[in-house]
Amino acid sequence: MLLELSIQNLALIEKLTLNFHSGFTSLTGETGAGKSILLDALGLALGDRADSSLVRHGTARADVSAQFDIEKLPKVQQWLADQELDDDNLCLLRRTVNPEGRSKAYINGCPVPASSLKSLGNLLVDIHGQHEHQSLLASQQQLNLLDAYAQHADLLEQSKQTYQAWSKLQKRYEQLQTEQSDYQSKVDLLEFQKSEFDQVDPQQGEFEALSEEQGQLSHANEIKQACQSGYESLEGEQGATDCVQHAIHALEGIIEYSPALQPLLEQLNSALIDIQEAAGEIQNHAERIELDPHQLQELDERLHKLFALAKKYHLEPEQLVEKHEQIRQSLADLQHSDVELENLQQEIEQAWCDYQQAAHKLSESRHKAAQKLSRIVTEGMHTLGMPNGIFEVALTENATPSVHGINKAEFQVTANKGQPLQPLAKVASGGELSRISLAIQVATAEVASLPTLIFDEVDVGIGGGIAEVVGQKMQQLGAHKQILSITHLGQVAAHGHTHLKIEKQTEGEQTFTHVYELDHPARIEELARMMGGLKLTQQTLNHAKEMLETAQANQ
């Protein structure tokens, strides 16, 4: 609920902080005192269009903050968490406007677009009357309110889940159909590509092995010559073997005189063995090298095929095998898509039946709730000074299915005998619209989601006993919601759990608007002022006292 509204330099308000309570709060004051300024201020905090004319003359900016307690508002908490703007169980909305009309918006101290204030504000406050926050005029909100009144969350969830399951399958089916629109051309292309790869038939690791073999065959002479030279250097006359053997014989002749040379002698013997083994390997390798021009030509041709295929498909030769497998798999998938389409069609038919069954159960529950709500709101209209009024929730079927089921709701009313029902949005009289909205809100108070409702002059065009009924309805609604009502009638104001008075004062050359929370004696004086003339008589005061005590006794 709304806890506090702070206003600086807005129209006639220089600085004002208002603390609000739960229940029903009456707001009264002389015409022109500035009651509408409070709604303008709250509207700014809730994301309304910024108007430079609201900035107090001679100041740099207007600044409005609205603090809400959201402990019992899971939807608001989730919205803030989704936007990463959550801050425990409090929510602070702030808006500044400069004389040029430029504004800045904040949620819990973080800069946000004004549209974010509006989105969040729609979950916090609903203003009824000749102002913008009239969510009851929106068709989807009317359906939501009916669903909340019917209290069939399980049916809503079943309808939602079956719709999503059907929609997911339908999208997959449409995707496959789109893919099959040029099915044959895709098959022809993939089969052609597969035949090209099949002809070459690249093998895993083949390119690397062939490249190595080609390098060896193309340099066979150089390899043989190098091997022969190496062998001669090791095993030929005066080669490494002879030199090492000569050193061994020399050391063996003196080893008995110098035993310290024994490790070196062993090292030389080991080196001799290594040299002889290396010479043998070199000789064997040279013998394996064949000067075979025909084999070299075959290798060149094979590598040419691999290079040509890789170039055509913009690949590296090493990627040919993977590409070959991709083509095979794509062709297989495409050839089996007919089977998948057939299976999908059966699944879609079943999913559609499931959705239709869930949606029709939901629709039946909505129709029952619509009849009951229509009757209760109609009765409420009668008690609110519209004895010939009729309210009806008209349910029709949507042309297309949706996650909300198959229904579209429209609140229809007529306030006068002989006049046809028409949509609530077309009600011309602001006073009638406010009272109809009040009747709806009272009927749905226990299930409606919005925590704070503001009624702007719902008493327009009424008086006497009907005004007292309006006050009672407000009081009744205040048991479930936070209610703020701007009123000109004492019969309505007397029923408030709290009473705020808006007053305009002139100090020197400046005009200011102030708001006071009235205690019991001050409430009696204010009610007397609203009922009487310029001069308050004892009789008027006594009447006001009696009215207040009677109204408060009903709590």
User: Would you state the pLDDT for residue 131?
Assistant: 43
Average pLDDT score over the chain: 85
Find, among 127, 59, 134, 67, the residue nearest to 99 by Cα.
59
How much of the chain is in helix, strand and coil states, percent to nearest 5?
A: 55, 20, 25
Looking at the chain, the whole-number percentage of residues with pLDDT higher than 70 is 90
**pTM of the entire predicted model:** 0.60
pLDDT above 80 for 527: yes
pLDDT band with cut points at 50, 70 and 90 for residue 265: confident
Q: 46 has which bridge partners?
A: none
d(CA 401, CA 427): 30
Asked whether residue 498 carries a pLDDT value surpassing 50, the answer given is yes
Band of pLDDT at residue 186, cut at 50, 70 and 90 = confident
Which residue, 5, 56, 54, is CA-closest to 512? Answer: 56
Looking at residue 337, its pLDDT comes to 66
pLDDT digits (tens, 9 = 90+) for 81-128: 999 998 888 899 999 999 998 999 999 999 999 999 999 998 899 877
30 or 475: which carries more pLDDT confidence? 475
Q: Which two tokens stand for residue 507?
A: 């100090």
506: enclosing H helix or E strand: strand 498-507
3-state SS of 29-65 is CCCCCCHHHHHHHHHHHCCCCCCHHHECCCCCCEEEE
- Cα–Cα distance measured from residue 391 to residue 394, given in angstroms and rounded to the nearest whole number: 10
Asked if residues 42 and 126 have their Cβ atoms less than 8 Å apart, the reply is no
| Secondary structure E strands in 88-194 | 90-97, 103-107, 110-112, 125-128
Cα-Cα end-to-end distance for the chain: 20
**How many residues can be counted in the chain?**
555
Q: Looking at residue 222, what DSSP letter applies?
A: H
Residue 188 has which token pair? 């022809």
Please name the residue ranges forming H helices in 201-319.
206-218, 220-235, 240-252, 262-288, 293-312
CA 469 to chain centroid: 43
Please write the tens of the pLDDT for every residue from 243-252: 888 888 888 8
Residue 212: both structure tokens together: 């190595």
pLDDT given at position 160: 95
Instruction: Write the Ramachandran bin of 289: left for phi over 0, alpha for psi from -120 to 50, otherwise beta.
Output: beta
- pLDDT, tens digit (0-9, with 9 covering 90-100), for 201-226: 988 888 888 877 766 666 665 666 67
CA dist., res. 176 & res. 257, Å (int) = 95
Confidence band of 20 (pLDDT split at 50, 70, 90): very high
Q: What is the pLDDT of residue 441?
A: 76
pLDDT at 132: 37
Residue 320 has pLDDT above 80, yes or no: yes
Q: Looking at 38-47, 127-136, 358-367, 423-432, which range is the least confident one?
A: 127-136
The residue whose two tokens read 């806890």 is: 3
**Most confident by average pLDDT, 23-27, 140-144, 473-477:** 23-27
C-alpha span between 401 and 388 (Å, rounded)? 37
Average the pLDDT over 512-537 and give the result: 86
**What is the arithmetic mean of pLDDT over 130-153?**
78
Over residues 348-354, mean pLDDT = 95
pLDDT computed for residue 161 by the predictor: 96
